[in-house]
A and B are shown apart, each in its own frame.
Chain A
Amino acid sequence: MVSWLSAEGLSVRRGGRTLMGPVSFDLTGDGIAVVMGPNGAGKTTLLRALHGLERRRGDVRWGDAGLAAGRNQAFVFQSPVLMRRTVLDCIAFPLRLDGVARAEARARAEVQATRVGLRVDLGGAVEDISGGEKQKMAMARALIRDPGIMFLDEPCANLDGRSTCEIEDILTQIRDSGTRIMMSTHDIGQARRLAGEVLFLHQGKLEEQGIGDTFFDAPKSKAATAYLRGDILL
């Protein structure tokens, strides 16, 4: 299969210290690519480096040329970035940067709000809505440019079960609509439910790459085995 994203010797250094890498991998499947690992393994750094938020070393190649373009990528942060605006205007913001007229941007924002199932007053201030709704707002904002690939960093880290469930439904729906998804999580259950491909990071290094069920049922590396068994927390 042709890989849609491959990295070769990718690493991030800061202040003379290596935060992550070097890692090398190829992603080929159609499913959601899940980056797993305990806290501090470098999951966030890997996603940010791929998206261009961190200065990186090594090669990153996009199999699909369209994915390389910045505006074709979207990033959903672990804690949603709340702008000092209404919910609707937060979602419409990327389109406003693209020069789309306010009325049209808002109309398209409403479509995305419906798509992610936001159940709030779209004209209210975004600070006032619940954590789960904030994360949905962030996903609607990420989706509004119709990205080719969407990165999500621990999207359900601070959410309750119901919100987590809703976000996972939205993620599968986005995947089915053809957008590539690469996300990190340290929730093994969530990884099991969503993963097509798995990248398992431990202490900044890629310990194992596998396909969903195969990885969970029979991890090859010692670190992944221990982690799945619940022996590694850090």
Chain B
Amino acid sequence: MNLLKSIVMGAATALFAVAAHAEDMKMSVTTSFANSGLADVLLPEIKADTGINVQLLIVGTGQALKLGAAGDVDAVLVHSRPAEEKWLTAGNGTHRREIMYNDFIFVGPSDDPAKAGAAEKATGALQAIEAAKAPFVSRGDDSGTHKMEKRLWTAAGIAPEGDWYRAVGQGMGAALNTASGMNAYIMSDRASWLKFANKGDLKLVFEGDPILFNQYAYMPVNPEKHPHVKHDLAEKLEAWLVSDKAKALINGYTLNGETLFTFNAKTE
């Protein structure tokens, strides 16, 4: 029975070694933000300046808001304005603070068979893809990115359906993997695309239309609804996120030489 005893002792030691940190707070963020790599720059600075250890829950916008509504996180950082406002109206958060924006781009086969790159506007690029019935991969997961894509299709006057339109129901990375495998068009946030390692024959085909700008907003969870949330930490984090230091870090963050985010928080 010595064997059993040593297993018990080892496991017990292991469990108690997981001690809680005093200044932990949880924030749900979207996959696109986490994939950009900006978090890896910001989090250590936040910890150094404020003593807050921000734990990120990387999920889709829908789930990020849901976690906040359930009180399972202390704040959320997402990018889907209509959903954010609905969430605030339901009393889930105290307020909404715009922090920064990045942009979406269209990615497609390197020879661009639908000539989407020649379009002037984002809606024109989508119309070209639909006209050519070129394969297009959609996130189809009700995430912020997916919602943005649906708004663009509507703006282009198209209800996308047919064999060429593939909704995969997965995160950005998985959707990019699918597009790479099918050599299809896809809409992605710039950061996820730049970080994406499995590009295959894909390349960036369209960018720059202001309609593609993607606003990130920070929203603390309402302490009146969930008394246990660390609202003081959430406020401290907000103050840091709109500070000049954050501005410099966000604007200065580049990936492969490209700037990804533009800081646009207004001081109150």
Direct contact of A and B (CB under 8 A): no
